[in-house]
Structure 1
Amino acid sequence: MSYFKSTLTKSLILLILFNLFSCISLKDVQLIQPDDTLKLDKKGYIEFDKPEYHIQVNDQILINVATASGESMGMLSSFITAANNTTSGRGVYVRQDGNIELPRIGKIKLEGLTLEEARKAVQTEFYKIYNEEGTYIDVNLAGIEYTIVGEASQGVFRSQKKKVTLLDAFAQSGSNNIYADLKNIRIIRSESDGTKQVYVDLTKESIMNSEYYWVQNNDIIVVNPRKQKIWGIGLNPLSVVTTIMGAIATILGVYLFFDRL
């Protein structure tokens, strides 16, 4: 029986230690914590590395046209946005061949171009038909669309903002899951040369120096689960205590049963 008591004591100690070390700490769930590796410029501002986006197939492009003379765009008006009303105009999609196609103007190759390069390409073709004097043309994405899957509010989300950060993305999705592993957020990004993926740590403020802090159109954000979810314990101190007390009650019940034999 002494051997059984010794085994029981050791089992309880191991169980308590296991649960305590499995508990999710504040450092695991707090975003943008102070980090010695955060880079600042000479003025003390955070250094940003926002990559320039290159247009991809299936992107929806908005073309904004403003004319001093108020010239009618005719058939083209269904594909452009008036300068004083950014919600009108349905834009145009980049087709599989990398081109957009506009009435009267025809095809314009935009795939792989930056937004500024796309604006110049549209201008060049536009001014072959319409008067260049007193006309302003701008080209933008119809929004930034990204996907979130995993331990978060899953779905496809769209933002009308031109600049979207990972914090913006999670705020818009309403993600607030304590099982989310913020230290290993996976970003899958499509580029003209192919698809690449990286893992980022949202608990460190140095993430703001990374190019992956900025969400790009068509990004897939994968939120991995913590190991505690698989174990089913250690979510918070209360759950740790509950698990320990339940285990102790079970082991004591077994001990008392054999002690009475």
Structure 2
Amino acid sequence: MKFFKHILYIITVSLQLTSCISHKDTLYLEKNKDKVADIEINADAYKPYRLQVDDILSIDIRSNNAKDVEIFSKKKDVSGNNIINQDQLYFDGYQVDGFGNIRIPVLGSVNVQGQTVEEVSKLLEKKLLEEYFTPNSNLFVIVKLAGIRYTINGEVGSTGTKTVFQDKLNVLEAIANSGDINLTGNKKEVVVMRKIPTGYQSETLDLTDANVINSQFFYLKPHDYIYVKPLKQKTTGFGLNGIQTVTTVLSVFGVLTTTYLLIKSL
């Protein structure tokens, strides 16, 4: 019986050491939080995004004469307002083709690859004034990226491809938009994969460390892929918290006790 107690003690300690998730591992930006004021933000994260193949642009051309811009206008709903949603932008937005061009009425193909939306706006305004409008038209062009589209997979509440209509999006916002990381998700190993002109780059982020805001992958770019790895507790099947661990220990204890009694009765 004494030997049996020793075995049970070893199993209990082993389960406690390998199963419970530390509280600090469930918190965002906990490590180095007292040094946040001293963390130097990565300047690359704030550089304007440069357009790539497959990006979709929303282009709004305005003038003091409504008839002059009708050819550039998108479909309108019955109330006369421009329809702004993901489906409409996919079909009616200006997609950057494999050669880095978009096709604009009157202007034809315009190369925009590698340019910022501000640069494209100025380029289109210049070309339209040269070829279609007059200086008295009070022309101005608004160019925006048609949302930040990203894909998220792994241990989050809602996986899939999502589009957020804003100019900046960091990985914490993207995760929150996807239902947060599950209890079985590893906040210390969140992989962000990024498409670049020559292929792909990736980096593994530790979201429990405040220094993560200094990563060039902290702010997402269109077409980024996020993968939240599972904790080892999910694959081992042990409890994820104290209650689950106790339940597991009691179950093991019950099995061992039953086995011991059966053997003893033989």
Q: 1:147 aligns with which of 122, 144, 151?
A: 151
Q: Which of residues 218, 221, 229 in structure 1 aligns to 2:223?
A: 218
Match in the other structure for 1:248: 253
- Structure 1 residue identity aligned to 2:108: G
| TM-score normalized by the length of structure 2 | 0.84
What is the CA–CA distance in structure 2 between the aligned matches of 1:48 and 1:216, rounded to whole Å?
15
Aligned-partner Cα distance in 1 for 2:107–2:58: 16
Which residue number corresponds to residue 186 of structure 2?
181
- Find out whether 1:59 has 2:63 as its counterpart: no
Aligned 8 A contact 2:60 2:73 in 1:
no
Given candidates 21, 29, 32, the residue that maps to 2:29 is 32
Q: Relative to 1, partners in 2 of residues 1:98 and 1:39: Cα closer, same or farther, differing over 3 Å?
A: same
Q: Percent identity?
A: 29
Is this contact kept in 2: 1:151–1:224, CA < 8 A? yes
Distance in 2, matches of 1:53 and 1:165, equals 14
The match for 1:200 is: 205
Which amino acid letter does the alignment assign opposite residue 116 of structure 2? T
Rounded Cα–Cα distance in structure 2 between residues aligned with 1:20 and 1:191: 44
| Deviation (angstroms), 1:139 | 1.6
TM-score, structure 1 normalization: 0.86
Distance 2:35 2:212 in 1: 8
Runs of 5+ in structure 2 lacking a partner?
76-80
Over residues 220-260 of structure 1, what are the superposed CA-to-partner deviations in whole Å (9 max), with x where a residue is unaligned? 00111110000011211111000001101111222222223
1:31–1:132 CA distance, 2 compared to 1 (3 A): farther
Which residue pairs with 2:236 in the alignment?
231
Superposition deviation, residue 24 in structure 1: 0.9
Q: Unpaired segments of 5 or more residues in structure 1?
A: 80-84
The partner residue of 1:169 within 174, 199, 213 is: 174
* 2:57–2:144 CA contact under 8 A, matched in 1: yes
Measure how far apart 1:64 and its partner are.
Answer: 2.4
Contact residue 149 and residue 222 of structure 2 kept, 8 A: yes
Aligned to 1:47: 41
SS in 1 for 2:73: helix
For 1:111, the equivalent position in structure 2 comes to 113
Q: Partners in 2 of 1:63 and 1:132 — Cα distance?
A: 20
Distance 1:131 1:71, change over 3 A: farther
